[in-house]
Amino acid sequence: MHQIYTFLFWKKLYSIEKLTPDLLITLGLREKNGKYTNAGALFAGENDYRGIDLVKFGDNINVMLDRAQIEKVSVLKLCQDALQKYRQYYQNEVIDGAYRRKNEQIPENAFREAIANAIVHRTWDVNAQIKVAMFDDRIEVTSPGGLPKGLSKEEYLAGQLSILRNPIIANIFFRLGLIEQFSTGIQRILAAYADSKTQPQFSIFENSIKIVLPVVKMELQGVSEDANEVYSILQSAPLSSSHISQETSFSKNKVLNLLEELIQKGYVVKIGNGRGTKYHRSK
């Protein structure tokens, strides 16, 4: 059996350099006779399990711009590689003066939870891949296997009941910080979209579960649609009106008027004066 994937050597899991046989048994990754469990095989650097089929589409499903089939590797590498693809297409860094700001079209926390949820709760004895379809306006994550027996759709969405199909995988993911708490993934996805006009969608079928993560669109009460667009750009760092103008294609005068509208409503604060003036969300 191949070595357990390098991620498990991280001191984030245990403050040791190597996993001992006894520790692997305790984690449920190895049996006393020395053989690896099914969960142990899933964490191995190489295995025989289907992984993720990830496709970035163009204008429609007939246009495939990029495709990555990540198979027969550790479930931890599945997470890592899927996140790299997500960051390639839905994240960028914006530099405005001394500030560096990460711009996320789709919240990384939501995507991470959707992938972890698919891996932790999928049916691994089915010869099928997790499907990740990336579009300009959304990501669709479809995992094989419906809900565990005894868990209703309402309970699944509310996170009220914890029935783990793969408890060993869930335990390792929890220890590594890939999931926060058992059965809170859906709630964390929804929380990532708390201020968004667009909301995640969950489709539950007999043999699969699909999570749709749309591009975030902010919707503030009592302001114009253009002001909402300006607000959506203001995230983790103050920005100048010139930079906002570049990102929105609005004229600088229009941006200043929209910022004033947001300031009057209490959504944005003004920082500094003159050419060094910047704007930031008030909350």
Residue 59 structure tokens: 């204008």
Residue 205 structure tokens: 């079928």
At 130-189, the pLDDT tens digits run 999 999 999 999 999 988 888 888 888 887 656 778 889 988 888 888 887 666 788 889
More confident call, 41 vs 140: 140
H or E, element range at 250: none
Long-range contact pairs involving 144-153 (C-beta distance under 8 Å, separation at least 24): 144/207, 144/208, 145/121, 145/207, 145/208, 145/209, 146/204, 146/205, 146/206, 146/207, 146/208, 146/209, 147/204, 147/209, 148/121, 153/204
Beta strand 138-144 pairing with 130-134: antiparallel
Does residue 56 have a pLDDT over 90?
yes
Q: Are 48 and 72 in contact (CB under 8 A)?
A: yes
Give percent of the chain above pLDDT 70. Answer: 87
Cα 185 from Cα 141, distance rounded (Å): 14
Residue 102 structure tokens: 């990460």
Task: Tell me what the mean pLDDT of segment 39-45 comes to.
Answer: 87
60 pLDDT tier (thresholds 50, 70, 90): confident
88 pLDDT tier (thresholds 50, 70, 90): very high
Residue 127 half-sphere exposure, CB side, CA atoms within 13 Å?
A: 1
Q: What is the DSSP letter of 215?
A: P
